[in-house]
Amino acid sequence: MAKALVSSSQELEQAAAPGPVLDGEIEPEAISEIIRRVEQMRRGEDTVLSNEEVLRDLDPDLVRIAELLDELP
């Protein structure tokens, strides 16, 4: 829910997708955790919810707070 203001085409190019991850940029523990979570998802142990599903289950006051935070400059 973060917002960014882009004022020039140069800044837009800088905000483009980052380059590939190089060897050694990710710690071995992080790689192990990513692999563990992917395996859980493949086995159906994890449930992936859309933002809409999560917001639907939240208290209306929390949803309004999130909307107000999105409106901040």
Distance of CA 58 to the CA centre of its chain: 19
Residue 57's H or E segment, with its range, is helix 51-57
Give me 45's structure tokens. Answer: 């142990």
Give me 2's structure tokens. Answer: 């973060």
CB 70 within 8 A of CB 1: yes
Cβ contacts of 48 within 8 Å, gap of 6 or more: 41
Mean pLDDT in runs of 10 for the chain (73 residues)? 52 64 79 85 77 78 83 84
pLDDT at 53: 79
pLDDT at 13: 60
